[in-house]
Amino acid sequence: MGLGTLREKQLVQTAGYTFRLDCLLSNGQWCMTELSTGLVEQKSSSDLWAAYETGELKFVSSASNETEGRRAELMQGLSSAAYVGPSGHVEVDAAGSIGAMRAQYVLAIRAKPKDQAVAAILLQWNRLKWPVEPPGYSTVMRWKKVADGHPEPTLALRDKTSLRGRRGPRCCEALLGVLREVRDDFYLCRNPRISIAAATTKAADRVRLLNKSKPKSEQLRIPGRKAMLSVIREVDAEEVLAARFGADKALAMMRVSLGGVKTTRPLERIEIDHTVLSIILLDDDFEPIGRAFITAAKDAFTRAVVGFYWGAENPSVVSLARCIKHSVLPKEGFLAKYSDVKNDWPCFGAAESWVIDNGLEEHANAVHQAASEGGVQRVEFSARLSPWQKPNIERYFRTQDQLLIHGLPGTTMENIAKRGDFDAKKDLLIRWSTFDKVIVKWIVDVYMQSPQRVLRNRSPYQVWNESKSGFTQFVPDRTTILECMFLRQVDGRTLDHEGIEFDCLIYNSLDMRFLRSKFGPRLKISIRVNDDDLSNIYVQVPGMDIWVRVPCLDLEYAGELTRWQHRKCKKMRSLCAEEGVALSLAEARTQIENDIATEKTAVKQGRRKAQARMKERARGGRSYERSAEGEGTLADLAQEVGQESTGAAEDVESYRVEHFPRSADNE
């Protein structure tokens, strides 16, 4: 164990730098020199001792010890919980070390003939009882030869077994250079990724080629597997994995689990994520649309789903906003639309923290605005390809796929080997509107009511109700705040008598006339826009934290229109303008809707999926437009879907053929 104190020429290490204590000044300050830069600092003794007490400062025995090879490098990377201990443990008695024991035997036989020396060795062994058996005369004489003439006999007789063996590499520098070249050029590569045996073979071939041009006395020995392993171990294991398998694979393999994040109450930590549903859905005419997306929010303490959104909207601020709004609002009115749901859904309220992905949509200014408006204290961003940082929502998606999606007709499975002879024209059955009822019923009546081992065989519904007395379900003081949560602020807009122009739309109201009468006829203002609904914007009163909602003058066009849909309408108008046809935005929207209504045989699923996204209107819901003819058979079809999921696939197929016959063209 090394010892240190505040003294001259003492080396100390703090904040990653090594200092030398030069002298104690008259004012009680220690003059210290930083060894790498030569800079001089002054610190008091009390500050140094306080830093030592908190672990920020440690004493260094010598500069050479601190920079000693691999051990010093590891100590630099480890925390203050690590220290350098003895190299080995040697059992000794109260008489002293092994060197002291041997010295006593040497003193016992000094200046004695062999017969008397043998007797003295036995007498000394009976007194010391060390080692286990009495040492022989030749052994003690060897000890005596080592100790004679040495100024410190005890030091000379120490046990030096640990110093046995070869020191340094077994290979010469020329051979090590060949091995390192093979390691860097071939082994540390992703494509092709060779094994250690193949790398050893390449190194051996290179050595044989070099030996042809060398005399026999200078030829290099053929390397083996151990020699190649020795140069591979010169590189950190994480760097080897990153070079051979990629940085993402290295990150996953080198991750550390510390038991996860601990929570004590509901709504303390809400994990939110997006995923694509592994099922292909149909429209009302039984034409495949494609795979929908789902965004879900899960409480880490109760494992309850507090809100979700699914539909054709790609992972974006819009889908994130719809999911979070659904998680904050009570669910009574939402469940009133689903008569088949038997249980209630008590999970709602503003969360203390959000844990979201690291995508571009999560870093939008609208997300930070929503967090501040919704009372969120902390927003955590998970690292890319690090699902273990939000394990609860990832586990939920897996459970949803295994227990719900994979039991429905039309599932594509996660594993391509399990898909079998999946035929999109034959095996698809669930319509978009039917799946909406199925997934809501599964979440509320199945998942929320199923006991989980992590909850001590209690369901998320039970845990939430049992925890109600320990927390308060806060909600925004008015629902209009939810509409303003995910607004994106745009500065530098102009307000005049015509109103505010933004993204080819005009916004104006009598409130804007009042502002102009107070602050001037032409103003530079800041506005907040909602990508989920372009029917209105919010205008900031100059110099005040007051926001006024201003409607769009063309509400017939902009009502419940998302920014994605607006971009498609502008693109349609631009294409028509190139062909010499003048269209307004409303006419372009009508043209798109007419094309969607008439085009029933689109071949590409991606195009049909975009059509579904264009028809998706409701803010925060899954209001897919249904034909009047299909409403009468909706409940019957849902019942038949449930039968199919339990094994009656033939009955479902016959039901579809009987009630929804295909035309000859579609066949």
* Residue that the structure tokens 């992972």 belong to: 315
Topology of domain 270-470, CATH:
Nucleotidyltransferase; domain 5 (3.30.420)
Burial (0-12, 13-18, 19+ Cβ within 10 Å), 115: exposed
Structure tokens at 72: 């010093």
Task: Dump pLDDT digits (tens) for 204-214.
Answer: 999 999 999 99
The per-residue pLDDT for 83 is 60
In the predicted structure, residue 88 carries a pLDDT above the cut 60: no
The per-residue pLDDT for 410 is 78
Task: Extract long-range pairs of 35-41: CB within 8 Å, 24+ residues apart.
Answer: 35/11, 35/63
The per-residue pLDDT for 629 is 37
Structure tokens at 600: 């029933």
In the predicted structure, residue 661 carries a pLDDT above the cut 90: no
- CA-wise closest residue to 442 among 308, 534, 555: 308
The per-residue pLDDT for 72 is 66
Query: Where do the structural domains in the chain lie, given as residue ranges?
Result: 11-77, 98-160, 173-253, 270-470, 492-558, 563-619
In the predicted structure, residue 122 carries a pLDDT above the cut 70: yes
In the predicted structure, residue 93 carries a pLDDT above the cut 90: no
Dump the DSSP string for 483-546.
Answer: HHTT-EEEEEEEEBTTBEEETTEEE--HHHHHHHHHH-SSEEEEEEE-TT--SEEEEEPTTSS-
Task: Dump pLDDT digits (tens) for 226-240.
Answer: 999 999 999 999 999
In the predicted structure, residue 640 carries a pLDDT above the cut 60: no
Lowest-pLDDT range of 306-320, 322-336, 548-562, 637-651: 637-651
Task: Dump pLDDT digits (tens) for 292-323.
Answer: 999 999 999 999 999 999 988 888 888 898 89
The per-residue pLDDT for 13 is 86
Cα gap 509→527, rounded to integer Å: 14
Task: Dump pLDDT digits (tens) for 2-55.
Answer: 577 888 888 888 887 888 888 888 888 888 888 877 788 888 988 888 888 787
The per-residue pLDDT for 653 is 46
Cα gap 59→7, rounded to integer Å: 11
The per-residue pLDDT for 416 is 57
**CA distances in angstroms from 403 to 192, 379, 394, 397, listed in the order given:** 40, 31, 14, 10
The per-residue pLDDT for 445 is 96
In the predicted structure, residue 61 carries a pLDDT above the cut 80: no
- Mean pLDDT in residue range 160-178: 83
> What does pLDDT average to over the chain?
81
The per-residue pLDDT for 541 is 92
**Contact partners, residue 544, CB within 8 Å, separation at least 6:** none
Question: How confident is residue 526, by pLDDT bands cut at 50, 70 and 90?
Answer: very high
